[in-house]
Structure 1
Amino acid sequence: MKIVKHSGGVVEFNRDKLKSSLLKSGADKLVVESILQAIDNQIYEGITTKKIYKLAFALLKKTSNSNAARYNLRTAIQMLGPAGFFFEKFISRFFTSEGYTTKTNLILQGRCVTHEVDVVIRKNNFNEMVECKFHPKSETNSDVKVPMYILSRFNDLKDRNHAIFTKNDKISSCWIVTNNRFTSDAMAFATCSGLKLLSWDYPSKFCLRQKIDQEHLYPITCLTTLTIAEKDKLMVLDIILAREIIDNVEVLQKIGLSPIRIKNVTKEASELCNYL
């Protein structure tokens, strides 16, 4: 059975790949098998991967909101846009979970010009800049021009003192983070130039997908019991992670949720983050 990818390419339907992604959501084998059988009965030649995803998500949501939320992770990260401002906040939380102190959206003076830096992180008295390349569509990758451009910004900043965490901080290294992937040339150039890369699936033992699951860093946009407008209101209030509402029920009251809906949202967030 031929299916159509987001990019427009045509590939064979991979049932095992879909099964693996459903199992990673936390659904048990019997539920996954019933979903796969339902999808087998509905797919057709030329169906899009987007349509298959929507079918799987809807079926999974009928059995568990939290499993559907986990299955929805990559799409949820794309909802931290459209400009990527909330993605930068999310990445700040990501590094905080790794023991870093962080600051976001800084204007720093380089040797030649000023630069807007997305995130600066600090650990063991070393400061690193983090540049975030957010893409609202999953098929868009960061090519070699991205590390080339960011390397020039890093070089303009690295030899100067900056008032960030102390009065005289130097930036010792640079990360580039994307919610999608880097091209092979981008990875080769970054490695050769000493830049650190972080993407959806790179590096294999420290990628966004893996660390989010390990540390329960699920964005608020994962939750299926909130509307898009409600998620936007929470992010404006600096609620970025699902776990940030578990002990902060007041913020759900602040955006106008009823007691019953508050109970449903906190239940889903707790199950998603394994807090029950």
Structure 2
Amino acid sequence: MKIVKHSGNIVDFNREKLKSSLLKSGANKNIVDELLQTLENQIYEGISTKKIYKLAFALLKKSSNSHAARYNLRAAIQLLGPAGFFFEKFIARLFVSEGYLAQTNLFLSGKCVGHEVDVVIKKNDYIEMVECKFHSGKDANSDVKVPLYILSRFNDLKDRSHKIYSKKDVISACWIVTNNRFTSDAIAFAKCSGLQLLSWDYPEKFSLRKKIDDQQLYPITCLTTLTIAEKDKLMVLDIILAKEILENLEILERIGISPNRIKNVLKEASELCKFI
């Protein structure tokens, strides 16, 4: 059976690939097998991958909100836009979870010009800059022009004293983080230039997706029991992660959610973050 990808390319339906993505939601094998059987009765020649995703999401949601939330992860990260400001905050939290200090949205003077830097991290007196390349579309990849441009900014900022954590901080390394993927040329150039890359699926064993799953760093945009407007209100209040709701129980009442719905939101967030 042929299906249509987001890019418009026509490919063969891959049952095992769909099964793998459903298992990553946390649903057990028996539930996934039942869902696959139902899905295979609903899909047809020429169906889009977007439609398959919507069908799978709806079926998972009937089984478990938290499974649907985890399955929705990549789309949820795209909701940290549209400009990527909340994505930068999300990435800062990711580094903090790994033992770094992190500051966002800094303006630093380089040798030639000033630069807006998305995130600056520090661990063991070693300071690095992190540039976030946010894409609101699923198929937009970061090509070699991205590390070329960011390397020039890093070279203008490194080996100079900056007032960040102290009065004489020196930026010694640079990361580029994207919510999508890097092209092979971008990866090759970064390796050659000493830049660190982090994307949805790269590096394979330490990718953005794997870090999120391993540390339960799910953004609140994953949660199926909240509306988009409610998620936006929470992010404005600096609630970026689902687990931060569990640490700030009064925040849901503050944005006007009813007690009954609060119970549902907390249940989903708890299951998603494995608190219970």
Q: TM-score over 0.5 for the alignment?
A: yes
Aligned length: 276
Partner of 2:110: 110
For residue 27 of structure 2, give the secondary structure of its aligned residue in structure 1. Answer: coil
Distance 1:84 1:119 in 2: 12
Are 2:250 and 1:250 equivalent residues in the alignment?
A: yes
State the Cα distance separating 1:24 from its structure 2 match. Answer: 1.1
Q: Distance in 2 between matches of 1:248 and 1:177?
A: 28
Counterpart AA for 1:251:
I
The corresponding residue for 1:150 is 150
For 1:127 and 1:258, the matched residues in 2 are separated by 44
The residue identity in structure 1 corresponding to 2:49 is T
Question: Given the alignment of the two structures, is residue 72 of structure 1 paired with residue 67 of structure 2, yes or no?
Answer: no
Superposed CA offset, 1:109-140 (max 9, x none): 00000000000000000100000000011111
* Cross-structure match for 1:165: 165
CA drift at 1:258? 0.6
- Deviation string, structure 1 residues 93-121 (Cα, Å, up to 9, x no partner): 00001100000000000000000000000
1:220 is matched with 220
1:250 Cα deviation after fit: 0.8
Deviation for aligned residue 1:64: 0.2
Amino acid at match of 1:29: K
Q: Give CA deviations for 1:223-246 in whole Å, capped at 9, x if unaligned.
A: 000000000000000000000001
Q: In structure 2, what is the Cα distance between the partners aligned to 1:190 and 1:168?
A: 27
Match of 1:12 in 2: 12
Distance 2:121 2:159 in 1: 17
1:132 aligned onto 2:132 = yes
SS of the residue 1:46 aligns to: coil
Name the SS for the 2:205 alignment partner.
Answer: coil
Aligned-partner SS, 1:170: strand
Task: Report the counterpart of residue 90 of structure 1 in structure 2.
Answer: 90
Listed one character per residue, the Cα deviations across residues 122-159 of structure 1 (whole Å, up to 9, x for unaligned) are 00001000000000111110000000000000000002
**Once the two structures are superposed, what CA deviation does each residue of 1:13-54 show, in whole Å capped at 9, x if it has no partner?**
001111111111111122111111111111111100000000
Tell me, what secondary structure is at the counterpart of 1:201? coil
Q: What is the TM-score with the length of structure 1 in the denominator?
A: 0.99
Residue of structure 2 equivalent to 1:272: 272
Q: Distance in 2 between matches of 1:9 and 1:234?
A: 37
* Amino acid across the alignment from 2:122: R
CA-based RMSD of the aligned residues comes to: 0.6
- Please give the alpha-carbon distance, in whole angstroms, between the structure 2 residues aligned to 1:86 and 1:254: 20
Q: Alignment partner of 1:181: what SS?
A: coil
Query: Which stretches in structure 2 are left out of the alignment for 5+ residues?
Result: none
Please give the TM-score of this superposition, normalised by the length of structure 2: 0.99
1:261 corresponding residue in structure 2: 261
Letter matched to residue 207 of structure 2? C
Pick which of 33-42 and 182-191 moved more. 33-42
Q: How far apart in 2 are the matches of 1:196 and 1:247?
A: 32
Counterpart of 1:140 in 2: which secondary structure? coil
One-letter amino acid of the counterpart of residue 27, structure 1: A
Amino acid at match of 1:81: G
5 Å matches for 1:39-50? 39-50=39-50
Tell me the distance in 2 between the aligned counterparts of 1:99 and 1:127. 13
Give SS of 1:261's match: helix
Partner of 2:203: 203
Which amino acid counterpart does residue 190 of structure 2 have in structure 1?
A: A
**Identical counterparts, % of pairs:** 76
Q: Secondary structure at the residue paired with 1:246?
A: helix
Q: Name the CA distance, whole Å, in 1 between partners of 2:77 and 2:210.
A: 14
| Structure 1: distance between partners of 2:117 and 2:62 | 42
Distance apart, 1:247 and its partner CA: 2.3
